[in-house]
Amino acid sequence: MSLPHAVLTSLLEKTTSGYDLARRFDKSIGYFWHATHQQIYRELARMEAAGWIEGFVPPDAGKTRKKHYRVLPAGRRELARWAAEPTPPMDLRDAFTVKLRADAVLDEVDLAPELQRHLSLHMQQLAHYRHIEAHDFAPGRPLTRAQAIQHMILKKGILYEEGEITWGREMLALLQSPAPLGAPHRA
Amino acid sequence: MSLPHAVLTSLLEKTTSGYDLARRFDKSIGYFWHATHQQIYRELARMEAAGWIEGFVPPDAGKTRKKHYRVLPAGRRELARWAAEPTPPMDLRDAFTVKLRADAVLDEVDLAPELQRHLSLHMQQLAHYRHIEAHDFAPGRPLTRAQAIQHMILKKGILYEEGEITWGREMLALLQSPAPLGAPHRA
DNA sequence: TGCTCCATGTAACACGTTACATGATTGC
DNA sequence: GCAATCATGTAACGTGTTACATGGAGCA
């Protein structure tokens, strides 16, 4: 159960609304812990009931329904408690790898186009990460501890995308290679 | 929805029982798509109801409750259909990265021991993959298409673990580094 | 006899996904 | 006036997790 903790973290970084949280999830913490806006609204309601956060109408609300949330001491304590607790390493849920195994056993699907598509998505994401890196972490500039951690998180994303791309290219070559002469690959 | 397809793939590789499937998941396809035995029993029941697979009592069952499943043509078709359909690239769900961000904002937790623990788990897993590679994919030996795919899947696991280890070591160094003199890292 | 492993399940619940509803504000 | 975007939600359903139940087989 990490979604509430991801939300708490995001709220500590910046007190804001459910809507904004959902949008920020899509392009920062969500790269490592995805959530839809419905999940976020649900968690906000639960955490408010639990006394971890508090909702309030922001000064600039005007006539809108906008509601902001701030983290209460109990929420901060809960986040620290969870962070100190051991959790198992991430487990993968990679549908494409399952498809590859299906291909190996069926030998009647062509996964090349799908892999091509994933490859270009990974290249886009990598370009995006590199852009952020160039903008926020220019070399030589001294970093606070918090910034150094943020940079390492970004680097993890970069490393991941690079790995996907390197592997994907080799895999694509294999999927596109013709059956060797004299050794037909279809049994 | 990929679990039924992972199960179909596994059953095509080898007709077997729910119990054995659950155990094989733990150490092969499950590295890329984890499932508990309850999920597997549930999916088997659903797929049998859907006419994708068929249960039968194996010859060596004796007085046990053991039941094997084989894939029916409809199941094979469904697997091929799903494999040909596009799916989004895997999304990550990495609790440790969330904890890092929590650390960056709270600055009152020590994630070094947890990272150390993850590092040694990743090293174990890498050693395990390398062992399989040395055993099943000795260099120079010619491979069928299916074997070449299996090898690439294994390489993906290896690349992933290597990435985690490389990154983890750098991260550990940062977590263990003392606050720079004259620039206290706690605000 | 009691322990562990084989083997299959039920039940309850937590979490994630998809579809839909509602209404205000902003820009053309 | 209309469409897009802001903003918050409800409802239904599907998937994943945890706890528990049941009983046979093999072994000390």
CA distance B130 to B98: 30
Residue listed under structure tokens 């590789």: B13
Closest CA to B66 of B21, B8, B6: B21
Asked whether residue B46 falls in the same domain as residue B75, the answer is yes
Give the residue from A84, A115, A141 where a domain finishes: A84
**Per-residue pLDDT tens over the stretch A121-139:** 999 999 999 999 999 999 9
Q: What is the pLDDT of residue A182?
A: 54
Residue B110: other Cβ atoms inside 10 A: 12
**Within-domain flag for B134:** yes
CA distance B120 to B28: 20
Q: End-to-end CA distance of chain A, in Å?
A: 46
CA distance A107 to B147: 12
For chain A, which residues score pLDDT lower than 50?
Answer: 187
Closest CA to A98 of B76, B160, B30: B30
DSSP state of B54: E
**Within-domain flag for B186:** no
Helical segments of A50-181, H only: 73-84, 95-106, 112-136, 145-176
Give the residue from A55, A84, A113 where a domain finishes: A84
**Within-domain flag for B185:** no
CA distance B159 to chain A (A): 7
Asked whether residue A113 falls in the same domain as residue A161, the answer is yes
Give the residue from B51, B84, B117 where a domain finishes: B84
CA distance B102 to B93: 15
Asked whether residue A7 falls in the same domain as residue A60, the answer is yes
**Optimal mutation site among A85, A93, A117, A119, interface B, most CBs of chain B within 10 A:** A93
| Contact status, residue A156 vs residue B99, Cβ threshold 8 Å | no
Asked whether residue B141 falls in the same domain as residue B164, the answer is yes
Asked whether residue A117 falls in the same domain as residue A73, the answer is no
Q: What is the CATH number of the domain that holds B56?
A: 1.10.10.10
Q: What is the pLDDT of residue B63?
A: 76
Residue B4: other Cβ atoms inside 10 A: 22
Query: What pTM value is reported for the model?
Result: 0.93
Sequence-ordered list of residues with C-beta below 8 angstroms from that of B159, at least 6 positions apart, any chain: A163, A166, A167
Asked whether residue A73 falls in the same domain as residue A7, the answer is yes
Q: How many domains does chain B have?
A: 2
**Within-domain flag for B89:** no
Question: In a 3-state reduction of DSSP, which class is residue B137?
Answer: coil
Residue A171's Cβ-count burial label (10 Å; 0-12, 13-18, 19+) is buried
**Within-domain flag for B181:** no
Asked whether residue A59 falls in the same domain as residue A115, the answer is no
Asked whether residue A7 falls in the same domain as residue A77, the answer is yes
| Contact status, residue A104 vs residue B149, Cβ threshold 8 Å | yes
Residue A141's Cβ-count burial label (10 Å; 0-12, 13-18, 19+) is exposed
**Within-domain flag for B145:** yes
Asked whether residue A147 falls in the same domain as residue A170, the answer is yes
Tokens of B4: 């039924």
For chain B, which residues score pLDDT lower than 70?
Answer: 179-187
The answer to whether some atom of strand D lies closer than 7 Å to the beta carbon of B65 is: yes
The answer to whether some atom of strand C lies closer than 7 Å to the beta carbon of A39 is: yes
Asked whether residue B71 falls in the same domain as residue B112, the answer is no
Residue-range definition of the domain harbouring residue A69: 3-84
Nearest residue in A to B108, CA atom: A80
CA distance A147 to A151: 6
A 104-163 residues with CB < 8 A to B: 104-111, 114, 117-118, 121-122, 142, 144-146, 148-150, 152-153, 155-156, 159-160, 163
Q: What is the pLDDT of residue A145?
A: 95
Tokens of B159: 């690349």
| Chain C nucleotides reached by a protein CB under 7 Å | 6-12, 14-19, 23-25
Asked whether residue A103 falls in the same domain as residue A170, the answer is yes
DSSP state of B16: E
Sequence-ordered list of residues with C-beta below 8 angstroms from that of A171, at least 6 positions apart, any chain: A100, A115, B152, B156
Cα A164–chain centre separation: 15
**Within-domain flag for B114:** yes
- Give, in order, the Cα–Cα distances in Å from B143 to each of A81, B28, B137: 51, 19, 8
Pairing of strands B16-17, B68-71: antiparallel
**Within-domain flag for B9:** yes
Q: What is the pLDDT of residue B1?
A: 78
Asked whether residue A47 falls in the same domain as residue A80, the answer is yes
